[in-house]
Structures are given as C-alpha cells and as structure tokens.
C-alpha cells in the first residue's frame, strides 16, 4: 500500500466524476483484425457471428440496466450501420471526450473501420435531447498536420480533472505531438511515459493499465520503465491512494475501471467481473473505501473486443440546461 499523504491534500477542482455516460449497443460486434495488430487483449472465437453478437448485446443490456438501477444516467447512442462494419462501436470512449468546461472533443483513431464509428451529428443530437449545453465541439482530425497521427481519446489519456493533469502511455494510438498540443489547448499538463508488455510491445491503450478516481489511482506500474515509473507514482501519490496491479491483473482488466457517481452523489466504481475476481481482497477493500464496487459480466466483449467496462463508458461532463 502506498503512502497516504494524499489525505492532506485538497483537490483543486470539484469535478472528477460524472453520473452521465454514453453507451453504444454492439450491433455489429465481432473480432476486429485491424485492431488486433497491436491489441494483445483480443482473442478470436469459434462461435458464430450471430452468437457472438447475441451474447455481447445481452452483456450490454444487463450493464445498462444495472447502471441505471444504481442511479447512473445512461444514454444509448443508437445508430444505423454504415457501409463498413464497425465491430468495435461498443467502445465509444475512443473517439470523443467531454470535459468539465463543457467542451466536446473528437479524435482521430488509427484503424479505418473504427473511424466509421464517429457519428458527430447523432452524438450532439443525443446530448441536446438530454438538455446538455455544449460549449464547443472540436474535431482534431481536421488538422492537416495530423493525418498520420492518432490520439484515441480517453482510451489513451487518463484525466485527473481535479489537478488538470492527464496521464498517457505513448503508442501508435497516442502520438506525443498531438497529445501535447491537445493538453496545451485545454490547459492540462501531460504526463507521458513508455510502456512495454512481456511481448516487448507497448500497451495499446493506457486505460487498460491505469485508472484515476477522485481520491485513488490504479496502475500497472511494472510495465513502465523504472526511471519514468518513479515519477508517475510520485505525481499520483500527491493526491491519490495508489493501488498497484501486476501484469496478470492488467490482462484481466483490473486497470480498466471507472469511478462514477449517482444522482445522490454516491460514488460507484464500475468494473468487469473478471477484474473484480482478480483484485486481491486487500485491493477490493481499498477500492470499496472510494465507492460501491459494480462488477459486470462482459466476458464476450472483453475476450473478443479486447476492451472492457471502462472502454464502454463515455463520460459526459457538460452542464444540463
């Protein structure tokens, strides 16, 4: 257990968690060979496409129901299939993010079939229907200088809104220049680092190895080189209780969790059943001190899609009118 010095620090900003999330039904869900090139968490299946989608949709619907029962405002973004299939549409947090100042940012993704997921008009219409006021909508893909650069939103950027910092593991899906330009634009400090899995490749998305809540952080620090690891942990420990996980726990999505809050302001921590089962009892007790643990069985989505509960939740911080 890390130092508890964080208890003496007060957050600089009030908002780290939201009770409003966008989720996208897995209508076309399946194994995506384009993303499998650098996503070691994906696994092919002998199940038929129909059976895979049936199971994924069931997992999705159960998760939506449970979140709503716990006071979270879930806004499903329904859509009409495009000419190109979108097997990873269930992971909307990779193409947009909403910031506490009301801005909405759209980001370039590395794989061609993932770019088909971006439905700006439908997203803004959905948020408007729910009385959200969007201060500004910015599409970072429109910058002519970044056509070969990618920044997959909160898949690669872990926001500490209270301290105006964001943590990011560099990879082909997280371009340093684009990241630093974005951080400067929104007034956040970017804390970047390298990662390396046992196979020698970078972790494809930071959010499978790391999560930041209001008063805690979960991180698989063993995949970060030692000279960068010490600095990252030191920064987190200033205001957070740091809970370290190992590579095996990361492989079961213990890093892919998200702290939310409900309509009453009660804290919730969403995670997969796999993550819950692989946290130690001591780690569960630490996490439970920061909110009610909400495990969901998304085993089909995890195994075939290579992403988990946090990837399925796109936070909305804009103000409601």
Mean pLDDT of the chain: 91
**Strand-pair category, 132-133 with 319-320:** antiparallel
Range of the domain at 20: 5-320
- Token couple for 114: 């993932």
Query: How many domains is the chain partitioned into structurally?
Result: 1
**pLDDT (tens digit per residue) in 173-205:** 999 999 999 999 999 999 999 999 988 999 999
What's phi and psi for 29, nearest 5 deg?
Answer: -60, 140
The three-state DSSP-derived secondary structure of 260-313 is: EECCCCCEEEEEEHHHHHHCCHHHHHHHHCCCEEEEECCHHHHHHHCCCCHHHC
- The domain that contains 289 carries what CATH number? 3.75.10.10
- pLDDT truncated to tens, each residue of the chain (321 aa)? 333 443 344 444 558 999 999 999 999 999 988 888 787 887 888 889 999 999 999 999 999 999 999 999 999 998 887 788 999 999 999 999 999 888 999 999 999 999 999 999 999 999 999 999 888 899 987 664 456 789 999 999 999 999 999 999 999 999 999 999 999 999 999 999 999 998 899 999 999 999 999 999 999 999 999 999 999 999 999 999 999 999 999 999 999 999 999 999 999 999 999 999 999 999 999 999 999 999 999 999 999 999 999 999 999 998 887
pLDDT digit string (tens) for 58-82? Answer: 999 999 999 999 999 999 998 887 7
């Amino acid at each position: 257990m890390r130092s508890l010095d964080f208890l003496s620090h007060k957050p600089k900003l009030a908002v780290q968690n939201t009770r409003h999330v966008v989720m996208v039904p897995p209508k076309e869900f399946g194994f995506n060979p384009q993303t499998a090139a650098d996503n070691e968490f994906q696994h092919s299946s002998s199940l038929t496409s129909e059976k895979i989608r049936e199971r994924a949709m069931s997992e999705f619907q159960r998760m939506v129901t449970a979140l709503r029962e716990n006071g979270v405002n879930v806004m499903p973004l329904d859509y009409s299939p495009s000419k190109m299939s979108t097997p990873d549409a269930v992971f909307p947090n990779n193409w947009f993010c909403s910031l506490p100042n009301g801005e909405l940012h759209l980001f370039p993704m590395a794989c061609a079939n993932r770019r088909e997921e971006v439905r700006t008009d439908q997203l803004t219409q959905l948020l408007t229907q729910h009385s959200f006021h969007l201060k500004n909508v910015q599409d970072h893909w429109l910058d002519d200088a970044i056509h070969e650069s990618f920044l997959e939103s909160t898949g690669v950027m872990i926001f500490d809104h209270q301290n105006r910092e964001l943590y990011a593991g560099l990879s082909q899906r997280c371009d340093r220049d684009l990241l630093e330009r974005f951080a400067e634009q929104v007034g956040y400090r970017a804390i970047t680092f390298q990662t390396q899995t046992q196979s020698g490749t970078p972790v494809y998305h930071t959010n499978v190895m790391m999560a930041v809540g209001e008063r805690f952080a979960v991180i698989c620090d063993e995949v970060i080189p030692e000279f960068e690891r010490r600095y990252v942990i030191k920064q987190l420990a200033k205001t957070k209780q740091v809970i370290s996980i190992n590579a095996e726990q990361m492989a079961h999505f213990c890093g892919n969790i998200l702290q939310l809050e409900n309509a009453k302001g009660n804290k919730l921590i969403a995670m997969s059943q796999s993550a819950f089962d692989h946290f130690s009892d001591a780690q569960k007790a630490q996490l439970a001190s920061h909110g009610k643990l909400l495990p969901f069985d998304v085993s089909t989505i995890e195994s075939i899609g290579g992403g988990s509960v946090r990837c399925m939740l796109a936070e909305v911080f804009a103000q409601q009118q």
